[in-house]
Amino acid sequence: MMRAETASRRRAGPLPRACGPLMAFVQALRANAFTVAPEQATSFLAAVALVGPRSMEHIRQAAIATLAPPPERRGAFDALFRAVFFADAPLAAVGDDEDEETRIRDAGGRDERREIPLKREKGGAISSTTEQLSVRSFATGEDAALSAFRRSLARALPVRRTFRQLKALSGGSIDLRRSMREIVRGDGDVPSPDYRRRQPVPRRLVLLIDVSGSMREHTEAHLRLAHAAVQATATAEVFTIGTRLTRITRALRIRDRERALALAADTVADWDGGTRIGPALLAFLSVPRFAALSRGASVVILSDGLERGDHTALETAMRRLSARAFRLSLASPLAGDPRFRPETAALAAILPFLDDLVDGASVSALTDFLLSLGRPAPRAEAIWGRRKHERHR
């Protein structure tokens, strides 16, 4: 976000000196776990200019209208406003509920939230909502299955038709313009008509990888799979979710897998920590440039789905993702057990929004599933509802 705003300011020239405190307030919001898109910051400056403020209350009202703080954090928002414009309190002391917010980070830029010193820990064994920051290192080695997957993925992804027209030897629609040109060139002779068709392109693949403590034993395999996917197609995007949301696509574009995974390990701060799947997915949808990636895409969430506490945020996020995505899938390691049934409150709530609920316990199962995304399949609710019926029969 910061780089987008900097580029925009560079094109438009330097900001007036009076905008300095206003932009400082925007930066303070981001540093204290508020999501502020570049468009919102621009609207804030425009609103202040339009209002022609005669008091600080006018600026505060313009900030509330354009920066849209969530109602439950209005107190922290007002405290930050006073800290920036009235110096009532140090910024570091504002935002006591920061731990309950999901931080967002793009591997290609600066952390959009305040950095917290990292500590090396072995990771948790169960799902929790407590944030625990740690770093990871990955073992070396090559996997022949992933090499075959990388060669096949681009051809296996579902496609969409663009509005760009290509010449076709047969089929499609008649290209009237080219056909008329040939008739004129042939002095009225009527040749065989020319055809055209809309160019097909592969749909985007978005992988959201759960890196919480309950997924610790699967994290490395999922990251290796994600690296193979990014190397196979330019349309792949990869995020990690836990207590934070981190985009690691740029790190995984490095061809050497070990270097790519090492950079990803340094980028992600919440390895083996708590589980906030719902808030992390809502954070993904709250950033316009991230949410746009899911439109018409195949979105695959690699997670056990063990959301702690209230699952309302998870249900809301899944509903919104389902409306945007071409295909929404959950690959859970738990689904590999024949005894597994999606009967927890969270899984039962999101099942109607899922196109697929598949086994995510092994690389071979995941590669087989990703290579089948281009083929139609029954919805998850139909499959798992039938299994439940068979069990009770």
The reply to whether 382 and 234 lie within a common domain is yes
Q: Domain containing 14: what range?
A: 2-98
The reply to whether 330 and 300 lie within a common domain is yes
The reply to whether 238 and 373 lie within a common domain is yes
pLDDT at 27: 87
Least confident segment among 115-119, 158-162, 307-311: 115-119
Least confident segment among 85-99, 158-172, 278-292: 85-99
> Does 132 have pLDDT greater than 60?
no
pLDDT tens across 260-318, in order? 999 999 888 888 777 788 999 999 999 999 999 999 999 999 999 888 768 899 999 99
> Does 117 have pLDDT greater than 70?
no
Domain boundary among 66, 98, 130: 98
Average pLDDT across the chain, whole number: 79
Strongest mean pLDDT among 94-108, 117-131, 159-173, 221-235? 221-235
This prediction's pTM: 0.63
The reply to whether 170 and 84 lie within a common domain is no
Band (pLDDT 50/70/90 cuts) for residue 98 is very low
The reply to whether 183 and 68 lie within a common domain is no
Q: What is the average per-residue pLDDT within 47-59?
A: 85
The reply to whether 168 and 207 lie within a common domain is no
The reply to whether 252 and 373 lie within a common domain is yes
How many structural domains does the chain have?
Answer: 3
Give a yes or no: residue 263 inside a domain: yes
CATH code for position 208: 3.40.50.410
The reply to whether 230 and 329 lie within a common domain is yes
pLDDT at 107: 61
Q: What is the average per-residue pLDDT within 205-212?
A: 94
The reply to whether 185 and 211 lie within a common domain is no
Give a yes or no: residue 128 inside a domain: no
Phi, psi of 186 (to 5 degrees): -95, 20
Domain boundary among 98, 133, 150: 98
Q: What is the average per-residue pLDDT within 199-209?
A: 90
Give a yes or no: residue 66 inside a domain: yes
